[in-house]
Chains A and B, each alone.
Chain A
Amino acid sequence: MRRALLPLLLTVALLGGCSTPTPEAGPPPAPAGGAAALPGPVPADLALRPAPGTAPAAPAFTGALTDGTPFAAAELWAQRPVVFTFFNSWCTTCASRQAALSELARSYRDRVVFVGVAGADQADEVQDYLRAHQVEYPVVLDDQQTIWRSYAVREPPAVVLVAKGGALLRGWPGGLDAPTLDRRLRELVLAGQP
């Protein structure tokens, strides 16, 4: 009986092998956090609270996204509020909060733009981090930590909120979790939000 089954098993194995798709060497996936993660047009119904006149101007900066695309912060906040998340791939607190922040960023996509700023990190480890935590917003590589210093960020995580027009609304050294950030966005920038 066992011997009789052998040809059948071999046949099944061979047929199975034939049906297995041959992996084709396609183009490598686009880096997470690159140009493809930049936002689309601002929704026409976006209603914002006016920024307080006493708020200082956020430090404007330029840099490059993970795929080398030039990035100018002022171009983004000219159209809508921006949340900067300062992080590192090795940061345990960042990692523990990132999935929820990624989801929050998706929920606000095109209305409030999230931008990650990775300070003095390894590009491949940043990619691993972004993919592991489903980060779908643009990420600037701040190799010399000049952006970090301009925002007085000493340690990850940190979150900074900039109003449309460039007013620096709030900064949270140590970061904050997604539900709290969501609540602060409704309080500080989004008009007509419960």
Chain B
Amino acid sequence: MRRSIMTLLPLLLAGATGCGAVGATQEAVSPTTVRVLVRDINIRAAGVDCAGTGPYTHFHNRAPYRVLDPDGAAVASGQLPAGTAVAAFAEDLGVERMPTYCEFAVAVRVPQRASYRLEVDGRPALDLTSDSSEGPALVAVVPS
């Protein structure tokens, strides 16, 4: 009995693996990071978890997002992580809580397209711009 299972196992595994690719050509995808800087100038301690404020309250931990291609098709999707507060000004203000922006970064894998947009929680999509200054990234700044 054990011998017959051992004989069948490679065939079963091969069949299971093959099922995922039936009728579909897998499109090559590349890892990149979607970065969104929400310039809401809210008072926070730098480095703490944050969410967008004012008109950007839909940017928050667990908010659903989609990366769209020029045709509006979703090429990646998921949920945002919490943002991270980054100081809005370079000057050391000497206080714990300071004017900050809220930056979101999420790793995605997307196929090559001419352009991308980011939709968060069903709101109007933002244009993403390629930026390789700190590794491959697609970035947006709001308000732009």
Contact = CB atoms under 8 A, between A and B. Distances in A.
A109 B53 CA distance: 32
A129 to B, nearest CB: 11
B102 to A, nearest CB: 8
Contacts of B87: none
Given A90-B60, A155-B42, A174 B48 contact: yes
Given A90-B62, A92-B61, A92-B82, A155 B51 contact: yes
Nearest to B79: A90
Contacts of A91: 49, 51, 60-61
Contact of A154 (B42, B61, B97): B42
B43 interface: yes
Contact of A92 (B43, B44, B49, B63): B49
Interface string A134-145: 000000000001
Contacts of B82: 92
A120 B49 contact: no
B57 A174 contact: no
Contacts of B49: 91-93
A173 B50 CA distance: 12
B124 interface: no
A155 B60 CA distance: 10
A176 to B, nearest CB: 12
A173 B48 CA distance: 13
Contacts of A66: none
Given A92-B82, A155-B44, 16 more contacts: A90-B61, A90-B63, A91-B49, A91-B61, A92-B49, A93-B48, A145-B57, A154-B42, A155-B50, A155-B51, A156-B51, A173-B43, A174-B43, A174-B44, A174-B48, A174-B97
Interface of A: 88, 90-93, 120, 145, 154-156, 173-174
22 contacts: A88-B51, A90-B60, A90-B61, A91-B49, A91-B60, A91-B61, A92-B49, A92-B61, A93-B49, A120-B57, A145-B57, A154-B54, A155-B42, A155-B44, A155-B51, A155-B53, A173-B43, A173-B97, A174-B43, A174-B45, A174-B48, A174-B97
